[in-house]
Amino acid sequence: MEFTFLGSSAGTPTRSRNVTALALGPRGPKPWYLVDCGEATQHQLLRSRYSVMQLKAIFITHIHGDHIFGLPGLLTSASMLGREEPLDLIAPPQVGRFIQAAIENSDSSLSFSLNLINSEAEGFQWQDEYFSVTAVPLSHRVPCRAFVFTERNLERQLQQDKLRANGIEAGPEWGDLQKGKDVQLADGRLLKADDYTCIPRAPRKLIVAGDNDTPDLLADACQGAQVLVHEATYTQDVAERVGPWPQHSSAEQVARFARQAQLPNLVLTHFSSRYQSGTEGTPNINQLAAEALRHYKGQLFLARDFDTYRLEKDFTLHRLENSG
Amino acid sequence: MEFTFLGSSAGTPTRSRNVTALALGPRGPKPWYLVDCGEATQHQLLRSRYSVMQLKAIFITHIHGDHIFGLPGLLTSASMLGREEPLDLIAPPQVGRFIQAAIENSDSSLSFSLNLINSEAEGFQWQDEYFSVTAVPLSHRVPCRAFVFTERNLERQLQQDKLRANGIEAGPEWGDLQKGKDVQLADGRLLKADDYTCIPRAPRKLIVAGDNDTPDLLADACQGAQVLVHEATYTQDVAERVGPWPQHSSAEQVARFARQAQLPNLVLTHFSSRYQSGTEGTPNINQLAAEALRHYKGQLFLARDFDTYRLEKDFTLHRLENSG
């Protein structure tokens, strides 16, 4: 599993950080999924390995402009490129209305079906061959969700001893069973894949959260998760100065939660544009890292645009070379 | 007068060219005006001298997405920066509906009044202290306009001999007359500024056209204009291959028109993303220049993002150093 930050700035873009978007692929860029789509996400894609032609679904955490204003351009550009593959858009209902208004009032049309799926529906769940995705309600100024991506269809391991003990020798049937297919033998016996294979590892599980002032809401979802991507808009002192109205988290808040939840990997993102990214300038993004590290002892990362991460089957998380 | 291209690509952005937007200032970046606002115009502004806080009016040539999808982000970012100054938005009525839908469906609000002015109204005219702006209907798939910016309030020159001949000696009255103010003398005489001053030069006049397949529609407007900024989406051979549906102009078409209209300066923009910008790659942007030069003998420029041009009072046009 790989994911790439296409934006890591809160509210407004800066010269080095775009507003929120994250690309996620089960095995690289084909196919891939987009979580949030701030303005100029399509521009960021031009500098990444991801193409809108291989995009399978878009997940929108909430309706704020810095998470959705890139949708009209991304969708109509996909159309101009001739995309025909249907596209799932998992989002609050207002997002559909925004897109409809954008299309209607700009003489546009889409060359593919856009399937609007209400992310706020009771018991929401989405899945394809790679992932099962559920949503966790968060606490923000508007309804907001974290999306929990859990790997599906893990590789099966044949129970060879059991097969041989039952007189089934190596052959094409073994291959089918390993792919999860049940097999009918020549002698009439039906072999169930689940009886002759096992899945030797737990699924990878990644959580991408939207804006949220209460990380504790993710406590249950974090069980068995290897990575949490969560906003840390401010340091604690700035959060206190700004007051509770924006309903964002501080680095300290998220770090404390991640420690409590025993999360092995925490990736912070969605930084207020006041934080400078270079080695100079105050307030600086390094203050967010320093604050988080005082409270969290797992592996901590701060998102940068175009940073790609790989979550291995053994649950280790690596940051790959920046491709931007 | 200065203007800066913030985007010069047609339809979709490329790595080196954003979709359409042009910044125009009567005397640098304060105040300034925006013509069209493709997605990520606010991002381009971060790399320019123009700030949304000093933006006085936005002119939209037509409703296509590559000319308007940057509006929601630009406006809400201005709001997050605390802008209070009202802003005029001169545009087709659909643009207002698009912005309203964007704001309503993203839990946004604006901290300033947005004055929607219908650019398609009969006899449209807009003016402030610097410019009088009129609109010329063009020919495109949707109603589209060119905006004609004509300088206002030119410096007056005192007719000193006439003043002295009428017994009016140098004094504060001379200053008022030169500013265009009528003056009441101590002896009761009313001096009209227009009677004692003259304007020693013609106004600068710049036309920024939207998408258009019939440059001839600008023939009248081009009289007395020093600069035409016009799309040249394709070379002639590509235009013929693409067919008439997109209703764009070729470089040849615009160049022929500009020669006929005896325009001293022509700036082409809005290039199909198929044209490569570097020294290598085919089709290349240089083909558009070569084609135009075969038909036009005035001063020709091809727009590049962040190129700034200065139109002097003596009507010469210079391209300044690229600031991007």
Question: Is residue A205 located within the same domain as residue A270?
Answer: yes
Confidence of residue B203 (pLDDT cuts 50, 70, 90): very high
Strands A114-118 and A125-127: unpaired
Name the nearest CA neighbour of B214 among B135, B266, B141, B139. B139
Share of chain B above pLDDT 70, in %: 99
Q: What is the pLDDT of residues A257-299, one digit of tens each?
A: 999 999 999 999 999 999 988 777 789 999 999 999 999 999 9
Please check the confidence at residue A81 and state whether its pLDDT lies above 90: yes
Cα–Cα separations (whole angstroms), residue A236 to A253, A257, A289: 8, 14, 12
Q: What is the mean pLDDT of chain A?
A: 96
- Average pLDDT of the residues in B78-91: 97
- B39 lies within 8 A of chain A by CB: yes
Shared domain for B181 and B215, answered yes or no, is no
- Grouping H, G, I as helix, E, B as strand and the rest as coil, residue B34 is strand
Single out the residue in B138, B171, B198 at which a domain terminates. Answer: B198
**Contact between chains at B102 and A106 (C-beta distance less than 8 A):** no
Percent of chain A having pLDDT more than 70? 99
Convert the pLDDT of each residue in B171-201 to its tens digit: 999 999 999 999 999 899 999 999 999 999 9
Annotated binding-site ranges of A for Zn(2+): 62, 64, 66-67, 140, 211, 270
Each residue of B289-299: pLDDT tens digit? 999 999 999 99
CB contact under 8 A, A98 and B97: no
pLDDT in tens, A158-171: 999 999 999 999 99
Residue A173 lies in a domain: yes
Q: Is B79 left (phi over 0), alpha (psi -120 to 50) or beta?
A: alpha
A72: contact with B, CB 8 A cutoff: yes
Our CA dihedral for A155, A161, A163, A169, rounded to 10 degrees, sits at 100
Give residue-wise pLDDT tens across range B223-259.
999 999 999 999 999 999 999 999 999 999 999 999 9
Q: Are residues B80 and B185 in the same domain?
A: no
Q: Please check the confidence at residue B324 and state whether its pLDDT lies above 70.
A: no
Within-domain flag for A24: yes
Residue A49 pLDDT class (50, 70, 90 cuts): very high
Residues B254 and B240: their CA atoms lie apart, in Å, by 15
Strand A87-91, strand A114-118: pairing: parallel
- The amino acid at A282: T
H/E element holding B118? Answer: strand B114-118
Exposure string of A121-154, with b = 16+ CB inside 10 Å and e = fewer, is eeebebeeebbbbbbbebebeebbbbbbbbbebe
Decide if A324 is inside a domain: no
Give the model confidence (pLDDT) of A124-167 as tens digits. 999 999 999 999 999 999 999 999 999 999 999 999 999 999 99
Beta strand pairing call for B125-127 and B131-137:
antiparallel
Average pLDDT over residues B101-122: 98
Residues B164 and B285 both lie in one domain: no
* Nearest-CA distance B115 → chain A (Å): 18
- Pair A110, A215 in one domain: yes
User: Does one domain contain both B180 and B235?
Assistant: no
CA gap A242, A249 in Å, rounded? 11
Reported confidence tier of residue A301, pLDDT bands at 50, 70, 90:
very high
Q: Is residue B324 part of a domain?
A: no
Does one domain contain both A218 and A113? Answer: yes
Does residue B64 sit within a domain?
yes
In the predicted structure, residue B216 carries a pLDDT above the cut 70 = yes
In a domain, A237, yes or no: yes
A323 has pLDDT over 70 = no
Angle B93-104/B71-80 helices, nearest 10 degrees? 60
The reply to whether B102 and B39 lie within a common domain is yes
Domain containing residue A130: CATH number: 3.60.15.10
Rounded average pLDDT over A90-102: 98
Same domain, B119 and B12: yes
Closest in B47, B80, B94 to A105, CB measured: B94
Question: From CA A149, how far away is CA A129, in angstroms rounded?
Answer: 12
Residues contacting residue B50 through CB under 8 Å, at least 6 positions apart:
B4, B23, B25, B29, B32
Please tell me whether residues A119 and A239 are part of one structural domain.
yes
Same domain, A267 and A190: no
Residue B215 pLDDT more than 90?
Answer: yes
Any domain includes B73 = yes
Domain that holds residue A173: 157-198
A162 and A56 housed in the same domain: no
Interatomic CA distance for residues B161 and B77, integer angstroms:
54
Residue A302's Cβ-side half-sphere holds a number of Cα atoms within 13 Å equal to 22
Number of compact structural domains in chain B? 2
> Looking at this predicted complex, what is its ipTM?
0.94
Could you tell me if residue B10 is inside a domain? yes
